[in-house]
């Protein structure tokens, strides 16, 4: 189990996990603006896989700028407390009135490229993901989304082919089994 200040602990499960965590660790050490939002550098982001109360579905957003179905999340904007950022983004993007963290541990790390747009060049998101569960409230669309949808885990592949989202189905059983 490894720890990075501002991010938390992670238990890598395979070679991909070890690689992502090592790259994230090196980035946080070498980049003074790792938790910022400088458009000229890559940065850490915080994401939330928000599960339904029965743990059978995940809340996905059809992201306005990226035009893809993704988990909730966003930029740290200088806040070096990534679990807080993920929870804050989950509230802002879901409309839910109560969400709980299922574990303080990092669920997954995914480093991926964000394509260039009119405001910024292509850059990497060092995306740190946490597992959360909806407790109360109804979902409501935010300005950042075209749509929100509870997607049953067994049908996740019908909504997206993004490996960074599909990893949820692969990792979830083992992660849940490791919780106290």
pLDDT of residue 90: 97
Question: pLDDT digits over 84-114, tens only?
Answer: 999 999 999 999 999 999 999 999 999 999 8
Q: Residue ranges of the alpha helices (H) in the chain?
A: 15-30, 82-94, 156-159, 163-178
Question: pLDDT digits over 24-53, tens only?
Answer: 999 999 999 999 998 788 999 999 999 999
pLDDT of residue 169: 95
Which residues constitute the domain of residue 78? 2-178
Q: How confident is the model at residue 1 (pLDDT cuts 50, 70, 90)?
A: low
Q: What is the CATH number of the domain that holds 46?
A: 3.90.79.10
pLDDT of residue 115: 86
Does residue 66 carry a pLDDT above 80?
Answer: no
Inter-residue contact 21 to 109 (CB < 8 Å): yes
Number of folded domains that form the chain: 1
Average pLDDT over residues 124-134: 97
Q: What share of the chain is helix, strand, coil (3-state, %, to 5)?
A: 30, 35, 35
Q: CB within 8 A of 34, min separation 6: which ones?
A: 27, 28, 43, 44, 126
């Amino acid at each position: 189990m490894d720890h990075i200040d501002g991010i938390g602990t992670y238990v890598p499960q395979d070679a991909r996990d070890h690689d992502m965590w090592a790259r994230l660790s090196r980035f946080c050490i070498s980049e003074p603006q790792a938790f910022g939002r400088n458009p000229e550098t890559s940065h850490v982001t915080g994401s939330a896989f928000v599960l339904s109360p029965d743990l059978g579905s995940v809340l996905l957003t059809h992201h306005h700028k990226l035009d893809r179905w993704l988990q909730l999340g966003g930029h740290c904007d200088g806040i070096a407390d990534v679990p807080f950022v993920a929870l804050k983004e989950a509230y802002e993007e879901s409309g839910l009135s109560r969400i709980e963290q299922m574990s303080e541990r990092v669920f997954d790390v995914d480093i991926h490229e964000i394509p260039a747009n009119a405001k910024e060049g292509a850059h990497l998101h060092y995306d740190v993901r946490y597992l959360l569960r909806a407790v109360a409230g109804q979902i409501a669309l935010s300005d950042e989304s075209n749509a929100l949808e509870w997607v049953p885990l067994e049908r996740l592949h019908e909504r997206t082919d993004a490996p960074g989202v599909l990893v949820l189905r692969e990792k979830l059983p083992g992660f849940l089994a490791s919780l106290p």
